[in-house]
């Protein structure tokens, strides 16, 4: 049962990758601009150089031929060569993947701990706690990552000098220092959304008939919260957390650029600008895979949380 | 899911492209400008160098507007690559911060107008200790024209008939006809010398992150990680004993595309220096005690490219009227925050690298391009162009371009012309330069443009010579062509300067391009550093050899 589910999901992953790679390749092919022009910084290049470079990167071939070159190489594990850096795409991705993974992981931890924590607290404690949580989350939900980045840099890096302005850091401790502001900038608006959904889910469960009945039967509150409210509220919370975390992968680009982090997102933006096809394709495949894997993880979590949910079907 | 990712990319793309342009060319937000507001004197208040540092500094981070893409000189064509290659490598001849050209790895003799004989300095050595040989020189120069490599400087060698080793320390370039522009190019990226044996072994990996490089500079390459930076360390065995060992032990060139990050990095000390032009946060940095801002001679011109000779701008009087109506002081203060000069010629006066007295005397005779509405209106009337429309290619996402476009719109409307904007996305702006289809239907677009060495002719020739790489409207003035061709074959620097000056003076009247302002080169260094080259020469020759700590 579980194996069949995983097999189905794997097939879906392969299909998504294939479709995504074709769509992205096509979109970038159709988009105006020229990867060779990006090498020259806007000044004219001699026509002979342009011809050589076009032939080298098959840019003078029809669209489908170009895509086939890329696909057949990719199937052999060769993601191609970056036009701007003249280097293998896989090694370029490898050197950056941990930055993005670390950033998204750090931000996810912040979202899960603070977002769910705040939501549960607000859900269970109506009154001043709930109101202040609502106000805080309303404000932070409205702050896009790039604004948060500028505010955080100005306050904590330039004025207070608690955290560095840019760069990755060298060891674990300095990595943590370098990644704190970016992770907060990345997490801040998603955190509010997770908190709000959590609060609503908790409220809904707390108002359910079986909880009222349990309360009237004198079941201790602690046990009531754990077994009747949290357990049942867990499915919507998991759904929103999963979607939020998966979307962080895409938003990371903005934050990485603002903080000068050497991550996949910032690189994807730079590569798309210079129409560096192989790099855009390579990074997109990694991002699509990560997205699909996170979704599979969520589905598996549903089954663990609620045995009634058969795998592959979402409840909530 | 795929569409979600790409939509997001499209959004962030826009913001990043804008910030990239900010870092290189400034932003149009108006603010009070500090310092000299568009001085007309070509040299007043400008410094080409800073006092040499005196103290050892363990390391410094130097910002470039985006990541370095190549360390191969034949592909170095934009600010980040030039900054990196000039830090590490040396050319046959060398441009000084004042733009003058002198001996580099070799000295030049010209026994006849069609023979350039280079004698390699006997001390010259690569980082690995191997001496620089004629074979290395021939190989390095030949790479420029090797069709299989597709280097960006092949046209520079158009008058060369052969390059050959003619002695144990000698290389001779034989020319088809005299070419006194070639030495300037050989004091720039096309003249950088790399080690033949090393480069042959590296093959296509030479100058990429996967490979390495072998040059002769006082700084040698330590590592290059894309996204992190190019790290150079002071070489302990630098060949040139006339140069003191570098004081900054390690320099990392880091791509910082975002203006906010660049500015806060400098203020907090995360970045120790960087070169820029027309930075929107310049006033803020000028007043910050943590950094020092220097203005040096610039070689780049901010200009309006006239790309259509058939349209209303095909009429010289309309071009002159538009130029007279342009409020250049507003561009200087809002876009360049005071760090630009009023133009008299298309060339930036920072490019007077030879025959300086001749150039300055001629330059002072050409009028400053100040605003004169009465004269502008009169010219429009004479041309009978009232009510006609000019179409400007622009991009609202590039704030400096958008701001200067606004100034042109204002100028055109004030003299009774109509304007139409053909606005494209930031990443498509480049198509105006490379795609005739993108230029169809527009009368002109804006640029920040420069030549490879300090010579007013270096940029002008690309604009006005028939077949010039940036002659988009097939502009042709036989008299100007004759002057420039004659200059190319004239050995005496002063006589050559006089010819180029005449051509520039004609161009300032005929306006094949309309110069907007002449940006100065801005160097920003943290308070504790000094000694970097502060003129545009940093793009072509070592700029950090005297960089060090102060106090």
Q: Which of A288-302, B135-149, B362-376 has the lowest mean pLDDT?
A: A288-302
Q: Taking a contact as any Cβ pair under 8 Å apart, which residues of chain A between 105 and 134 contact chain B?
A: none
Confidence bin at A243 (pLDDT 50/70/90): confident
* pLDDT given for residue A41 in this prediction: 62
Choose the most confident range, by mean pLDDT, from A85-89, A156-160, A229-233, B380-384. B380-384
Q: Which residue has the higher pLDDT, A59 or B41?
A: A59
**Pairwise CB contact (< 8 Å): B228 & A262:** yes
As a whole-number percent, the residues of chain A with pLDDT over 90 amount to 16
Phi-psi region of A250 (alpha: psi -120 to 50; beta: other; left: phi over 0): alpha
Q: Which residue has the higher pLDDT, A237 or B37?
A: A237
* pLDDT given for residue A43 in this prediction: 64
d(CA B102, CA B113): 18
* pLDDT given for residue A145 in this prediction: 87
Contact of B313 with B415, CB cutoff 8 Å: no
User: What is the average pLDDT score of chain B?
Assistant: 89
Q: Which residue has the higher pLDDT, B371 or B399?
A: B371
Contacts 24+ apart (CB under 8 A), A294-302: A294/A242, A294/A245, A294/A246, A295/A242, A295/A246, A296/A6, A296/A9, A297/A242, A298/A238, A298/A239, A298/A242, A299/A5, A299/A9, A301/A238, A301/A242, A302/A235, A302/A238
Please give the structure tokens belonging to residue A293.
């894997």
Residue range A84-100, pLDDT digits in tens: 888 889 988 988 898 99
Instruction: Tell me the mean pLDDT in the region B117-136.
Output: 97
CB neighbours of residue B482 within 10 Å? 12
* pLDDT given for residue A42 in this prediction: 61
Residue range B270-279, pLDDT digits in tens: 999 999 988 8
Name A127's Cβ contacts closer than 8 Å, sequence gap at least 6: none
Name B294's Cβ contacts closer than 8 Å, sequence gap at least 6: B47, B50, B522, B523, B524, B525, B534
User: What is the average pLDDT score of chain A?
Assistant: 85
A with B: how many residue pairs have Cβ under 8 Å apart? Answer: 188
Q: Which of A39-43, A118-122, A190-194, B320-324 has the lowest mean pLDDT?
A: A39-43
d(CA B462, CA B458): 7
* pLDDT given for residue B3 in this prediction: 33
Instruction: Tell me the mean pLDDT in the region B363-372.
Output: 95
- Chain B interface includes A60 (CB < 8 A): no
**What are the residues facing B227 on neighbouring strands?**
none
* pLDDT given for residue B259 in this prediction: 85
- Provide the CB-side half-sphere exposure for B194 (13 A, CA): 29
CB contacts, 8 Å: A95 with chain B: 225-227
Q: Both ends of chain A: CA-CA distance in Å?
A: 22
* pLDDT given for residue B326 in this prediction: 97
Q: Taking a contact as any Cβ pair under 8 Å apart, which residues of chain A between 222 and 281 contact chain B?
A: 247, 250-251, 253-254, 257-260, 262-263, 265-270, 272-273
Phi then psi for A181, rounded to 5 degrees? Answer: -60, -45
Q: Which of A212-221, B135-144, B190-199 has the lowest mean pLDDT?
A: A212-221
Confidence bin at B42 (pLDDT 50/70/90): low
CB neighbours of residue B91 within 10 Å? 27
* pLDDT given for residue B341 in this prediction: 94
**Hey, what's the torsion of the CAs at A211, A212, A217, A219, to 10 degrees?**
40
Contact of B138 with B147, CB cutoff 8 Å: no
- Classify B113 as helix, strand or coil: coil
**Pairwise CB contact (< 8 Å): A87 & B8:** no
Instruction: Tell me the mean pLDDT in the region B187-214.
Output: 95
Confidence bin at A45 (pLDDT 50/70/90): confident
- CA B35 → CA A146, B338, B340, B369, distances in Å? 32, 6, 11, 21
Confidence bin at B228 (pLDDT 50/70/90): confident
* pLDDT given for residue B7 in this prediction: 29
* pLDDT given for residue A1 in this prediction: 57
Q: Which of A15-29, A298-312, B373-387, B413-427 has the lowest mean pLDDT?
A: A298-312
Residue range B334-354, pLDDT digits in tens: 999 999 999 999 999 999 999
**Hey, what's the torsion of the CAs at A7, A8, A14, A17, to 10 degrees?**
-140
Whether A125 shows a pLDDT value over 90: the answer reads no
d(CA B145, CA A138): 62
CB contacts, 8 Å: B5 with chain A: 250, 284, 287-288, 291
Confidence bin at A40 (pLDDT 50/70/90): low
Whether A144 shows a pLDDT value over 90: the answer reads no
Pairing relationship of beta strands B101-103 and B513-519 according to DSSP bridges: unpaired
Nearest CB among A85, A88, A166 relative to B69 is that of A85
Confidence bin at B126 (pLDDT 50/70/90): very high
d(CA A78, CA B281): 43
Nearest CB among A32, A53, A258 relative to B431 is that of A32
* pLDDT given for residue B37 in this prediction: 41
B contact test, residue of A80, A273, A295 with most B CBs within 10 A? A273
Q: What ipTM was predicted for this assembly?
A: 0.74
Name A72's Cβ contacts closer than 8 Å, sequence gap at least 6: none
d(CA B453, CA B102): 12
* pLDDT given for residue B442 in this prediction: 95
What letter would DSSP give residue B320? H
* pLDDT given for residue B456 in this prediction: 96
Q: Taking a contact as any Cβ pair under 8 Å apart, which residues of chain A between 184 and 203 contact chain B?
A: none
Nearest CB among A38, A86, A157 relative to B268 is that of A157
Whole-model pTM?
0.83
Q: Which residue has the higher pLDDT, B311 or B147?
A: B311
Letter string b/e over residues A205-242, b meaning 16 or more CB atoms within 10 A of that residue's CB: bbeeeebeebeeeeeeeeebbeebbbebbbbbbbbbbb
Instruction: Tell me the mean pLDDT in the region B111-119.
Output: 96
**Pairwise CB contact (< 8 Å): B150 & A43:** no
What letter would DSSP give residue B220? E
- Residue B393 belongs to what H/E stretch? strand B389-394
**Pairwise CB contact (< 8 Å): A291 & B260:** no
**Pairwise CB contact (< 8 Å): A48 & B150:** yes
d(CA B293, CA B273): 10
Smallest CA–CA distance from A18 into chain B, residue? B2
As a whole-number percent, the residues of chain B with pLDDT over 70 amount to 92
Ordered alpha helix ranges (H), chain A: 2-30, 47-56, 63-75, 89-110, 117-124, 128-141, 145-152, 172-206, 209-216, 221-224, 231-258, 264-273, 277-305
- Chain B interface includes A181 (CB < 8 A): no
CB contacts, 8 Å: B228 with chain A: 168, 262
Instruction: Tell me the mean pLDDT in the region B513-537.
Output: 96
Name B436's Cβ contacts closer than 8 Å, sequence gap at least 6: none
* pLDDT given for residue B18 in this prediction: 30
What's the gap in Å between the CA of B357 and the closest CA on chain A?
Answer: 30
């Amino acid at each position: 049962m579980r194996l069949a589910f995983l097999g189905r999901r794997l097939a879906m992953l392969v299909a998504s990758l294939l479709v995504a790679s074709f769509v992205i390749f096509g979109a970038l092919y159709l988009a105006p601009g020229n990867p060779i022009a990006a090498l020259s910084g806007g000044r004219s290049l001699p026509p002979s150089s342009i011809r050589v470079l076009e032939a080298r990167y098959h840019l003078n071939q029809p669209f489908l031929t170009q895509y086939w070159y890329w696909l057949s190489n990719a199937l052999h594990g060769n993601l191609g060569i970056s036009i701007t850096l003249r280097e293998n795409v896989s090694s370029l991705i490898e050197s950056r993947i941990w930055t993005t993974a670390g950033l998204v992981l750090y931000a996810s931890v912040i979202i899960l701990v603070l977002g769910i924590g705040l939501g549960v607290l607000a859900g269970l404690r109506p009154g001043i706690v709930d109101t202040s949580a609502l106000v805080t989350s309303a404000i932070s939900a409205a702050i896009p990552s790039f604004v948060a980045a500028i505010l955080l840099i100005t306050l904590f890096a330039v004025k207070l000098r608690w955290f560095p302005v840019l760069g990755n850091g060298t060891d674990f401790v300095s990595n943590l220092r370098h990644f704190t502001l970016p992770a907060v900038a990345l997490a801040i608006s998603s955190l509010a959304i997770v908190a709000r959904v959590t609060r609503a889910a908790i409220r809904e469960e707390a108002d359910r008939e079986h909880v009222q009945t349990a309360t009237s039967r004198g079941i201790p509150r602690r046990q009531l919260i754990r077994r009747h409210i949290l357990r049942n509220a867990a499915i919507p919370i998991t759904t929103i957390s999963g979607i939020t975390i998966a979307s962080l992968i895409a938003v990371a680009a903005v934050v990485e650029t603002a903080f000068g982090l050497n991550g996949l997102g910032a690189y994807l933006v730079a590569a798309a600008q210079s129409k560096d096809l192989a790099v855009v394709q390579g990074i997109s495949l990694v991002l699509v895979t990560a997205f699909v894997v996170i979704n599979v993880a969520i589905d598996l979590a549903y089954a663990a949380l609620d045995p009634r949910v058969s795998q592959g079907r979402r409840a909530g | 899911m795929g569409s979600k990712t790409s939509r997001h990319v499209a959004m962030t793309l826009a913001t990043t492209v804008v910030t990239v342009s900010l870092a290189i060319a400034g932003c149009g937000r108006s603010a009070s400008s500090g310092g000299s507001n568009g001085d007309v004197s070509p040299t007043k208040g400008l410094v080409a160098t800073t006092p040499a540092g005196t103290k050892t500094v363990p390391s410094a981070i130097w910002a470039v507007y985006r990541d370095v893409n190549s360390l191969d000189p034949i592909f170095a064509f934009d600010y980040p690559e030039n900054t990196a290659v000039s830090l590490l490598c040396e050319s046959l001849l060398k441009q000084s911060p004042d733009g003058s050209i002198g001996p580099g790895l070799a000295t030049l003799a010209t026994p006849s107008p069609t023979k350039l004989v280079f004698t390699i300095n006997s001390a010259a050595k690569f980082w690995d200790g191997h001496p620089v040989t004629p074979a290395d020189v021939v190989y390095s120069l030949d790479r420029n024209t090797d069709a299989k490599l597709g280097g960006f400087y092949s046209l520079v060698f158009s008058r060369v008939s052969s390059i050959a080793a003619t002695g144990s320390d000698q290389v001779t370039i034989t020319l088809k006809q005299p070419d006194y522009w070639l030495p300037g190019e050989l004091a720039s990226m096309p003249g950088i010398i790399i080690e033949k044996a090393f480069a042959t072994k590296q093959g296509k990996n030479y100058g990429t992150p996967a490979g390495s490089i072998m040059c002769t500079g006082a700084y040698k390459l330590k590592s290059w990680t894309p996204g992190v930076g190019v790290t150079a360390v002071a070489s302990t065995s630098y060949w040139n004993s006339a140069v003191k060992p570098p004081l900054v032990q390690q320099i990392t060139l880091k791509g910082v595309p975002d203006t906010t990050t660049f500015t806060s990095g400098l203020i907090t000390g995360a970045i120790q220096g960087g070169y820029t032009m027309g930075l929107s946060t310049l006033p803020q940095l000028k007043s910050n005690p943590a950094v020092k801002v220097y203005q040096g001679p610039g070689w780049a011109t901010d200009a309006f490219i006239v790309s259509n000779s058939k349209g209303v701008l095909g009429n010289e009087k309309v071009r002159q009227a538009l130029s007279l109506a342009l409020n250049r002081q507003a561009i200087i203060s809002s876009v360049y925050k005071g760090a630009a000069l009023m133009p008299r010629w298309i060339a930036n006066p920072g490019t007077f690298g030879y025959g300086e007295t001749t150039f300055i005397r001629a330059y002072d005779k050409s009028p400053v391009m100040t605003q004169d509405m009465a004269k502008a209106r009169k010219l429009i009337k004479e041309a009978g162009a009232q009510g006609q429309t000019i179409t400007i290619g622009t991009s609202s996402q590039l704030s400096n371009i958008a701001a200067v476009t606004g100034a042109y719109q204002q100028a055109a409307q004030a003299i009774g012309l109509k304007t139409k904007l053909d606005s494209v996305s930031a990443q498509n702006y480049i198509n105006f330069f490379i795609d005739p289809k993108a230029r169809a239907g527009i009368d002109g677009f804006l640029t920040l443009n420069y030549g490879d060495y300090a010579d007013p002719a270096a940029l002008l020739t690309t604009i006005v010579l028939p077949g010039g790489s940036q002659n988009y409207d097939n502009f042709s003035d036989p008299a100007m062509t004759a002057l420039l061709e004659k200059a190319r074959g004239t050995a005496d620097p002063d006589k050559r300067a006089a010819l180029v000056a005449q051509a520039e003076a004609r161009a300032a009247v005929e306006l094949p391009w309309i110069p907007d302002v002449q940006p100065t080169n801005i160097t920003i260094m943290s308070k504790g550093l000094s000694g970097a080259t502060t003129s545009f020469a940093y793009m072509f020759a070592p700029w950090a050899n005297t960089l060090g700590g102060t106090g």
